[in-house]
Amino acid sequence: MSQQCMKSRRGVLKGATGIAAAAALGVPLIGRAQADAIVVGHLTPRTGFLGPLGELGVMAADLAVEQINAEGGIMSRKLQLIKEDSVNPQTASTKAERLIERDKVAAIVGEISSASCLTIAQVAQRTKNLFVNTGGNSDALRGANCNRYMFHVESQNSMYVKTCGQSLLAQGLVKDKKWFSLTADYAFGHDLLRVAKLFMEANGGKFAADKLVPTDATDFSALLLEIRSAKPDLVISNLAGNQITNFLKQYAEFGLTFPVAGFGFDTAVAWAAGKGNFSGTWPLVWHHLLETPGSRKFVADFTKKYGKPPENQAWGDYNAIRILARTMQEIKSIDAPRIIEHWEKGAKFDVMKTREAYFRAGDHQMMHEMYTVTGLPVEKIRNQWDIFTASGPVPAANQPLETISSTPEENGCKFAA
């Protein structure tokens, strides 16, 4: 064997040994990213009470990346997704730092917990990286805790409350009515309850009771007994994740007949409740029965890949990835300042609805249509997915999209210089 060949062989062996040693020590290999790929971090809860929703977001993000790469990628470069389970706010912060500093991601997409959104946003602001929130609802993220590096595909709590509130007003369930509310005891729930109380005060209703519910609670029997005794005009859910599933199941088992509505909602938690257990009026950013060309294609593609239709969290993560990729392609840049500038100038996006969406420059909330859904009686349910009827878009076509959002004065967002 020639000396040159021997050197080449030793180099390969040395390299292989080094790779093995690095892997054993947990040292990242080229930041876990493929050379020349555009890398995006996907950070969202995949365990805990929000885990089932996070998994749907991951599935949709994977589908979006697969399609983008099949279409030629971004600027002829592949898009790569590095996925992490955020678990809780502290872990979310640590993993956001690692994605940015070690893996050199161009942006972070995802999350559902409002508390975790805040810690990720703080990292994004400090490192001047982009974070696109697909599931955190708290108004505070668009207000006191807003920052220039965070954008929101997910709607804020005010949008959920005002959307559902329009339906409740039409049903005569607000003025001079007593509400009994159950609220998830963390940042999202507290903020949602605050917004719900503002809505009630403005429209002449009152609370018979409002109860905080720990996020790990699974037994609602004591609260259901309180509801039975209180005889409210409406039971309101400010719950989250599988809390809603457990509540709906047990509400049906108790045989309570008081009307139910919710200000926070995900289709998947209703599906999980089982046939006949879902009732009431609830707000959604998107649903799988929406008859637009984009929605029909998304439902068909998702169902073909995963054997079931997508829901609202899947819609959020899918669209966030697609919007980010389209923007990078259009402006020929992956730099956060360039993307932010483009979005703040009013770029419009097809988000599978009857009107295009845009990010509001003042707080980076996406302005888009929402919907309310109402549970079907059991005899009208044809399958495990089509369990509700849906309203038309809210706001109506002759109203500005900002009709259902908080006003700049209400949210008070001020970006740091």
What is d(CA 358, CA 300) in angstroms, rounded to the nearest whole number? 25
Residue 18 confidence (pLDDT):
41
Residue 246 confidence (pLDDT):
95
Q: Is residue 386 part of a domain?
A: yes
Q: Is residue 235 part of a domain?
A: yes
pLDDT tens for each residue of 220-264: 999 999 999 999 999 999 999 889 999 999 999 999 999 999 999
Four-CA torsion 14, 17, 23, 26, nearest 10 degrees: -70
What is d(CA 251, CA 139) in angstroms, rounded to the nearest whole number? 29
Q: What percent of the chain has pLDDT over 90?
A: 87
Mean pLDDT, the chain, integer: 91
Checking DSSP bridges between strand 178-184 and strand 234-238, what pairing results, if any?
Answer: parallel
Cα diameter, the chain: 94
Q: What is the mean pLDDT of residues 350-362?
A: 97
- Residue 199's domain comprises 158-286+370-401
Q: How confident is the model at residue 34 (pLDDT cuts 50, 70, 90)?
A: low
Q: Is residue 256 part of a domain?
A: yes
Q: Output the six-digit token pair for 27.
A: 């040292």
Q: How many residues does the chain have?
A: 417
pTM for the full model?
A: 0.89
CA dihedral sign of residues 303, 307, 311, 316: negative
Q: Is residue 98 part of a domain?
A: no
Residue 234 sits in a domain of what CATH number? 3.40.50.2300
What is d(CA 38, CA 41) in angstroms, rounded to the nearest whole number? 10
pLDDT beyond 80 at 14: no
Number of domains in the chain: 1
Q: Is residue 338 part of a domain?
A: no
What is d(CA 323, CA 257) in angstroms, rounded to the nearest whole number? 43
Q: Is residue 182 part of a domain?
A: yes
Bond before 45 cis per omega within 30 degrees: no
Strand partners, 179: 207, 234
Q: How confident is the model at residue 31 (pLDDT cuts 50, 70, 90)?
A: very low
Phi-psi sector, 37: left (phi>0), alpha (psi -120 to 50), beta: beta
- DSSP class of residue 77 equals B
What is d(CA 13, CA 138) in angstroms, rounded to the nearest whole number? 53
Residue 33 confidence (pLDDT):
60
**Residue partners of 68: CB distance under 8 A and separation at least 6:** 74, 79, 321, 322, 325
Q: Is residue 307 part of a domain?
A: no
Report the 3 state secondary structure along 14-37. HHHHHHHHHHHHCCCCHHHCCCCC
Residue 21 confidence (pLDDT):
42
**Residue partners of 306: CB distance under 8 A and separation at least 6:** 59
CB 270 within 8 A of CB 278: yes
Q: Is residue 375 part of a domain?
A: yes
- DSSP class of residue 402 equals G
pLDDT beyond 60 at 144: yes
Q: How confident is the model at residue 288 (pLDDT cuts 50, 70, 90)?
A: very high
Among the ranges given (341-355, 356-370, 400-414), the one the predictor scored with the smallest mean pLDDT = 400-414
pLDDT tens for each residue of 76-101: 999 999 999 999 999 999 999 999 99
